[in-house]
Structure 1
Amino acid sequence: MVVLALALLASAAVVRATPIEKSQKQLPLVIWHGLGDTYDSEGITSVGELANETNPGTFVHSVYLDEDPSSDRSASFFGLVNTQLATVCDQLASIPELAGGFNAIGFSQGGQFLRGYVERCNNPPVRTLLTFGAQHNGIADFLGECKPTDFVCKSASSLLRSSKWTPWVQNKVVPAQYFRDPEDLGPYLEKSAFLADINNERDGERNETYRENLAGLERFVMIMFDEDLTVVPKESAWFAEVNRTSGEITLLENRDIYKEDWIGLKSLGTKGKLEYLTIPGRHMELSDEGLKALFKTYLGPGGRLNTEDQHSGGEL
């Protein structure tokens, strides 16, 4: 599954950046785990510890949908994302340590969910958002590997493949709520329970608050795994559009969502606050070395801001 795996990859971050002039205190960190993981799993706990080791004094909060780990994992497969997101908005607003703002990391589907938090709530506000292998432009297939005895995963997978546009599945199966086939957008625009809304894709229903909130980020760093076979297409991590028949890739800057600034991405990009990075390896394969480099570069007290052309991205 897409549970966080801290694989030892021999790599180091190379990010060209210039310091932000104004120094900052160490901001708290919020983490939202991915599909099939739990808020207190060994991998997520290790990430929090690594963040504190890299930037001492980091307060870390791991988002949960249920304090019981088993129920929290089930909620990553089944539930209405809009309701879950509202719960998280209340959860983060209730934590005193986050009141002055925080940095955020979203792993896999946790990436687009944290982006949804920024667009819909953002109180307290996110300063820097890092998303790892997120499905910002949706998934056109579901290739998650389910263990033979993992009936929660197998049930979700079966429903997504067979009945994704039925009201029950759209309001119950989490991955169905960010399913998006660019060659069949009609059902998606009509029936999508989550992604079509936070991507502001419906004509005549553009939410200006979404654009203003996302545009207010200090940095938005989108990270793609270059051998990702779980997220289809992997370029969804960068908001790219992929025609699965021809293989043609339309980069974010050439899409209307950017050119017309539906959710604030163009506002971020023109200010050098939108970054594209790649990590070698498969979905959610992360090294301690690579994470430390990211934490130091983007989440340290002073922070760093890339002011050069962002599209080519960096590599970890």
Structure 2
Amino acid sequence: MAKLTTVLSILATLPLISSSILPIKHKQLPLSDDDDNDTPLPLIIWHGLGDNYAADGLAEIASLAEDVNPGTLTYIIRIDDDASADRSATFFGNLTLQIEKVCADLTAHPILSTAPAVDALGFSQGGQFLRGYIERCNFPPVRSLVTFGSQHNGISEFQKCGSTDFLCRGAQGLLRSSTWSAFVQSRLVPAQYFRDPNQYEQYLEFSNFLADINNEREVKNQTYKENLEKLERFVMYVFEDDETVIPKETSWFAEVNGTDVTLLRDRAIYKEDWLGLKTLDKKGALKFEMTAGGHMSLSDNLLKKVFSDNYGPYGRKLGGSEQSKEDL
């Protein structure tokens, strides 16, 4: 009980939901068509739940990106400069305000803000957060977005927690008991992308984050669609044996209701092009990929392929397979 009380005291100090969500407009520099420029675009990375920006694993990934595309500047997104606080912010915080902070940080960065574009890599929940960044501000603009095991269509269950991970266990208890309360929706990160088809009306009314960035409400945000359509490539990876993200098909924007799986191309969000996903697909920019193993099973060879196919200098022809896969 003492641990839960501590979690609640932390939550009570966090800010409430922002009163309005307005995309940020910036004057963007024109993208250069100079094929002779071999300087790689900067790479921004947003880590997942329970991780922090200073983790050794992320530093190794940044080093690998530089090995594949020499000269790559890698910026790992952080909500707090203190690594412990940055980890806590993956569980507790207001996603609307967190994305606003990231937008401000990247806009103020002396190198990122002057680059013609950046590339982006999202791990787990960091993937849909990067998509929120693109939709809401997109300055500096993102050229290629790659996400691994991200919950683009939400989660219907919270992940399992370690027996001594009290941040995770406290978040899990709140998610189960008070998902749609203003208190939880403004303070518990996974609750803000919780989406159970059996509670769809509550989700549309109360979701602080996902219902908005997925443009599922009646009034659509045209700027979100226009910003996402600017991507040259959007690659979504599903982990074949993912038992952490439920349902795993959310990583491909699929709708799962019980045992029924509706693939993205059969959903209204695609057919009516609420987000520009259909537009991206038609121009060959939308890629559905699957990789073996459980959640966040990442090999150096897989990451090298991602860095080689999707990142590097602006103006280069992006590699990789030409055909999208969308069958489990």
TM-score by length of 2: 0.85
Q: One-letter code of the match for 2:146?
A: L
> Offset at 1:109?
0.4
Structure-2 residue corresponding to 1:27? 41
Matched, 1:268 2:280: yes
Picking from 306, 310, 314, the partner of 1:298 is 310
Q: 1:106-132 CA distances to partner (integer Å, 9 max, x unpaired)? A: 100000000000000001100000001
- Runs (4 or more) in structure 1 with deviation over 6 Å come to none
Rounded Cα–Cα distance in structure 1 between residues aligned with 2:36 and 2:131: 25
The whole-number CA distance in structure 2 between the counterparts of 1:306 and 1:49 is 22
Higher RCO structure (Cα 8 Å, ≥6 apart): 1
Q: What residue identity is the alignment partner of 1:52?
A: E
**Partner in structure 2 of residue 93 of structure 1:** 107
Change over 3 Å in CA distance of 1:23–1:270 after alignment to 2: farther
Partner deviation per Cα, 1:262-293 (whole Å, 9 max, x = no partner): 01101100000000011100000100111111
Partners of 2:320 and 2:211 in 1: CA distance? 30
DSSP-derived class of the 1:36 partner: coil
Counterpart mapping for 1:116-265 below 5 A? 116-144=132-160, 146-203=161-218, 205-244=219-258, 247-265=259-277
The worse-fitting range, judged by mean Cα deviation, of 166-175 and 300-309 is 300-309
User: How many Å apart are 1:163 and its aligned residue?
Assistant: 0.9
Contact 1:108 1:284 (8 Å CA) reproduced? yes
Between the aligned partners of 1:263 and 1:123, the Cα distance in structure 2 is 18
Gaps of 5+ in 1: 1-19
284-293 vs 299-308, greater mean Cα deviation = 299-308
| Residue correspondences, number | 291
> Equivalent pairs: percent with the same residue?
53
In 2, distance between residues paired with 1:216 and 1:44?
Answer: 27
Tell me, in whole angstroms, the C-alpha distance in 2 between the residues paired with 1:283 and 1:307. Answer: 23
CA contact (8 A) 2:143 2:232 kept: yes
Deviation (angstroms), 1:141: 0.5
- 1:267 and 1:22 mapped to 2: Cα distance? 26
Contact persistence 1:223–1:276 (CA under 8 A): yes
Structure 2 CA distance for aligned equivalents of residues 312 and 77 of structure 1: 31
How far off is 1:162 after superposition? 1.2
Measure, in 2, the Cα distance between the counterparts of 1:229 and 1:88. 29
Instruction: Look up the match of 1:13.
Output: none
For 2:9, the equivalent position in structure 1 comes to: none
Out of 41, 45, 63, which is 2:77 matched to?
Answer: 63
Distance between the aligned counterparts of 2:317 and 2:52, measured in 1? 29
SS at match of 1:141: coil
SS in 2 for 1:304: coil
Post-superposition offset of 1:309: 4.0
- CA offsets, 1:276-315, max 9 Å, x none? 01110000010011111111111133241568442348x9
2:131 to 91, 115, 129: 115
- 1:214/1:180 Cα in 2 relative to 1: closer, same or farther (>3 Å)? same
Matching residue's letter, 2:81? E
**Over aligned residues, Cα RMSD in angstroms?**
1.8
Q: Distance in 1 between matches of 2:35 and 2:267?
A: 34
Give 1:149 shift: 2.3
The one-character-per-residue Cα deviations of 1:85-118 (angstroms, maximum 9, x if unpaired) are 0000001111122122100001000000000000
**CA shift in 2, pair 1:107/1:56, >3 Å:** same
Provide structure 2 residue ranges, at least 5 long, that are not aligned to the other structure. 1-32
Work out the CA distance in 1 between the residues paired with 2:61 and 2:42.
Answer: 13
Q: Is the 8 A contact 1:272 1:306 kept in 2?
A: no
Aligned partners of 2:109, 2:78: CA distance in 1, in Å?
13
Is contact 1:273-1:306 (8 Å) kept? no
The amino acid that maps onto 1:156 is A
- For residues 143 and 103 of structure 1, the distance between their equivalents in structure 2, rounded to whole angstroms, comes to 28
2:19 aligns with: none
Is the contact between residue 255 and residue 263 of structure 2 (CA under 8 Å) also seen in structure 1? yes
